[in-house]
Amino acid sequence: MSEYLPKEVRKGLEMARKRALRRKSRLKVRVGDETWPVLRFWEDGFALDAGTAPHLRGRIDLFDGGRHLYQCLIVASAEEAGEMVYEFKRNTAAVDAAPLDFARDEDAPTALIGP
């Protein structure tokens, strides 16, 4: 049915669809000081607006609002329907504390009380 619509109407519908996806998603990609809203996100990758997103490659940070979710290595794979699609090479959950390199006892004291 979209081939029967005038070009301007199809373009307007596509812009409205992208705007709705941007508003709905809180996910953002950050590289250095620049950020781009994520339109779609799935297990193996994500999509950004092709009109505003560059050909990203390498390490990026993925945020949900202000919360850091993932540190990722990505590669731009394709441009489809006005979206730039990126695939994860590596997707590691971001943590706010360093991992322990020893097993912690369950009944270990949390602090020492001095005399």
Within-domain flag for 89: yes
Is 29 exposed, middle or buried (CB count within 10 Å of its CB: 0-12, 13-18, 19+)?
Answer: buried
Give the separation between CA 92 and CA 98, rounded to whole angstroms. 14
Residue 109 placed within a domain: no
Give a yes or no: residue 46 inside a domain.
Answer: yes
For residue 37, being part of any structural domain is answered with yes
pLDDT digits (tens, 9 = 90+) for 58-115: 999 999 888 888 899 999 888 888 889 999 999 888 877 777 777 878 887 777 777 6
Q: What is the pLDDT of residue 101?
A: 78
Would 76 be classed as within a structural domain?
A: yes
Q: Is residue 49 part of a domain?
A: yes
The range of the structural domain enclosing residue 81 comes to 27-93
Domain count, the chain: 1
In-domain check, residue 15: no
List the one residue out of 87, 83, 63 whose CA is nearest residue 17. 83
Could you tell me if residue 17 is inside a domain?
A: no
What pLDDT sits at residue 52? 83
